[in-house]
Chains A and B, each alone.
Chain A
């Protein structure tokens, strides 16, 4: 059941992005940035956690989940160490994904050749 929910919720969040591509002139960079900021806002409003509990990776794998991770991290850090937590919590929570992307990108650049994008 949770596999089906992960598939359906994740797919629906991608359809929302596809509608933004088809009906607006937003570039991919703007859509990704918008998704992360929207994830922070939804998480702050308390709406994203129930979705993540329900759909698991269906909610955390789309970039909205990245925003949720940042917001949750800040919240936990403010709980444990007060105001400085607003600076330390977000990137600490998101560090795994960011560091993995950068390290694998550099390794990829070592072994990969640039190619025609089409």
Chain B
């Protein structure tokens, strides 16, 4: 039987269990919101000693550290199975995407395994983010020249 890609997609959709979108969104909201709330608590704490940009950076570093600990312990993946985007979208999800392959691919060696796979998700994020910001920089520079 020959199938068009869209026919196949429809068949997969019919065969897969219905995803409980509402439940997924509640989990994402409370877990994601909770991580941001923890971030705000940390930020207010760091703001006692540092200016706003440095307090923001320290907040990120603290959350990344906590995410790394939870990832190595195997807790972050367990939470992510329930919380979906609630654990993916915050910076802790980015950290998880870096730490998880670093540990996982140690078996393939420190350079070809850990060193290369560490960028599996962080690579595209950093590459496209940097390219977009450079494009914005050119535009901003031109606007400054004209205006």
- Identify the A interface with B (CB < 8 A): 2-3, 6-23, 28-29, 31-33, 35-37, 39-41, 43-44, 55-58, 60-63, 65-67, 69-71, 73-75, 77-78, 82-83, 85-87, 89-91, 93-94, 96-98, 100-102, 104-109, 111-115, 117-118
What are the residues of chain B within 8 A of A36 when measuring CB–CB? 125, 128-129, 132
What are the residues of chain B within 8 A of A7 when measuring CB–CB? 33-34, 36-37, 40
SS class of chain A's interface: helix, strand, loop or mixed?
helix
B28 to chain A: closest residue by CB: A18
What are the residues of chain A within 8 A of B121 when measuring CB–CB? 28-29, 32
SS class of chain B's interface: helix, strand, loop or mixed?
helix
Within 8 A of A (CB), among B40-70: 40-43, 53, 56-61, 63-65, 68
B85 → chain A, closest Cβ, in Å? Answer: 3
The 8 tightest CB contacts between A and B, nearest first, are: A10-B36, A14-B32, A11-B33, A86-B137, A17-B85, A57-B39, A6-B40, A18-B28
What are the residues of chain A within 8 A of B114 when measuring CB–CB? 105-106, 109
What are the residues of chain B within 8 A of A17 when measuring CB–CB? 28, 32, 84-85, 88-89
A71 vs B79: C-alpha distance when bound (angstroms): 31
A109 vs B111: C-alpha distance when bound (angstroms): 12
